[in-house]
Amino acid sequence: SYELTQPPSVSVSPGQTARITCSGDALPKKYAYWYQQKSGQAPVLVIYEDSKRPSGIPERFSGSSSGTMATLTISGAQVEDEADYYCYSTDSSGTHRIFGGGTKLTVL
Amino acid sequence: QVQLQESGPGLVEPSGTLSLTCAVSGGSVTSSRWWSWVRQPPGKGLEWIGEIHHTGNTNYNPSLKSRVTMSVDKSNNQISLKLNSLTAADTAVYYCVALVPSQSASYYRFDPWGQGTLVTVSS
């Protein structure tokens, strides 16, 4: 079955740039989406269609995709950005939806 | 802005059936959106369960397809989820999520999410 692979954890100091990757064989043809989930809360969309930012999401959040890898970049990460981040996409048929395993971002 | 609120029993017995309802406010279940369920076992990642359109079309995760039924109640503007033959592995927070189409309607994003409801499978 199709999988999206994320690193389990990423750690940066406040003000540094955090990059979280998501790899999958269908990503050259399918968009990646990114969700932020803070402890005890529901996920929130932060990037859609590889690089678009929903209204209300800070400009420090950006996304890109190249080949089989999508990347979420947080430029000048802040303590309040500590959360689990999940990528989402579909398989090559577009029928089945898959989440990556999640990446825990630590900012300290 | 659409808002979603899940409700249902928090404790279900093994081999039983989980039944959850999602009330939709701020929008109609008959809109262009699909309506989905996503679950998250304690301390683990997100798993897509499936989705339904108001026309009755469904799309289920192959790993759960044999145990899942989704439906739409247009009169009450809500959707429902049933999952049978429960085991402890089905213990999770269950989220009701709207699937919003892109302008081309070829791609969908999960947005927004309900607050989620914890269902524990235990005797």
Task: Please give the radius of gyration of chain A, using alpha carbons only, rounded to the nearest integer.
Answer: 13
At which residue do the structure tokens 């026309």 appear? B55
Q: Using one digit for the tens of pLDDT, what is the confidence trace for A66-84? A: 999 999 999 999 999 999 9
Contact B59/A35, CB-based, under 8 Å?
no
Calpha distance B21→A16 (Å, rounded): 43
Task: Using the predicted structure, report yes or no on whether residue A1 has a pLDDT greater than 90.
Answer: no
Contact between A24 and A80 under an 8 Å Cβ cutoff? The reply is no
Q: Using one digit for the tens of pLDDT, what is the confidence trace for B44-66? A: 999 999 999 999 999 999 999 99
Contact B109/A45, CB-based, under 8 Å?
yes
- Taking CA atoms, what residue in A is nearest to B117? A42
Q: Using one digit for the tens of pLDDT, what is the confidence trace for A20-58? A: 999 999 999 999 999 999 999 999 999 999 999 999 999
At which residue do the structure tokens 């190249």 appear? A66
Coil, strand or helix: which one is B46?
A: coil
Contact between B118 and B102 under an 8 Å Cβ cutoff? The reply is no
Q: Which residues pair with A11 in a beta bridge?
A: A106
What is the rounded average pLDDT for all residues in chain B? 96
**Within a 10 A sphere around the Cβ of A84, how many other Cβ atoms?**
20
Best of A2, A88, A97 to substitute, by most chain B Cβ atoms within 10 angstroms, is A97
**Cα torsion through B49, B29, A89, A81, rounded to 10:** -100
Contact A96/B61, CB-based, under 8 Å?
yes
Task: Using the predicted structure, report yes or no on whether residue A90 has a pLDDT greater than 80.
Answer: yes
Calpha distance B12→B122 (Å, rounded): 6
Residue B2 distance to chain A (closest CA, Å): 14
What's the one-letter identity of residue A30? Answer: K
Calpha distance B10→A26 (Å, rounded): 37
Interface of A with B (CB under 8 A): 1, 30-31, 33, 35, 42-45, 48-49, 54, 86, 88, 94-102
**In this complex, which of B47, B102, B114 lies closest to A42 when CB atoms are compared?**
B114
